[in-house]
Amino acid sequence: MLEKGIKAPDFELNATPDQKIKLSDFLGKNVILAFYPADWSPVCSDQMALYNEMLKFFAKHDAQMLGISVDSVWCHLAFSKDRKLHFPLLADFEPKGEVSKAYGIYDEQTGESKRALFVIDKEGNIAWSYTSPTAVNPGADGILEALEELDKK
């Protein structure tokens, strides 16, 4: 897993069938990357719902939330619509897990992303990272603490 102080690997992933999002598009803004195993799983559903509720708090720290899993863009769209999510879910679908691998959190045994969080500062460097057990929702406290630290700089 990539650690604090490392330049975050840039990527470009689909948010919709015809819209791609690049990490580098957010330079000048803090970014939260929430890698998760799969849409529709109970823990992932709860985790993404929590982040949806936390968006206003993240915005106070000039932070953009991005969810990433190896599910397809169509699966993400259905999941996002059903859960009424207001942040992009990015499909690390093909080549499968390429971005998860770049961040060191791809699980070869399951073929999914591990449950991992990264806070990336406005210059594109990793300011904080955390891996949670697959069955545990990591919550938002660590994210908020990392964002508050960035505000002090």
Domain of residue 128, residue span: 27-152
User: Is 16 inside a domain boundary?
Assistant: no
In this predicted model, what pLDDT tens digit does every residue of 99-150 receive, in sequence order?
999 999 999 999 999 999 999 999 999 999 999 999 999 999 999 999 999 9
User: Is 62 inside a domain boundary?
Assistant: yes
User: Is 7 inside a domain boundary?
Assistant: no
User: Is 47 inside a domain boundary?
Assistant: yes
Question: Which residues are known catalytic residues?
Answer: 44
User: Is 12 inside a domain boundary?
Assistant: no
User: Is 1 inside a domain boundary?
Assistant: no
User: Is 119 inside a domain boundary?
Assistant: yes
Q: Nearest 5°: CA angle at 74, between 12 and 109? A: 70
**Domain count along the chain:** 1
The CATH number assigned to the domain holding 110 equals 3.40.30.10
- Place 153 in a pLDDT band, splitting at 50, 70 and 90: confident
Percent over 70 (pLDDT), the chain: 100
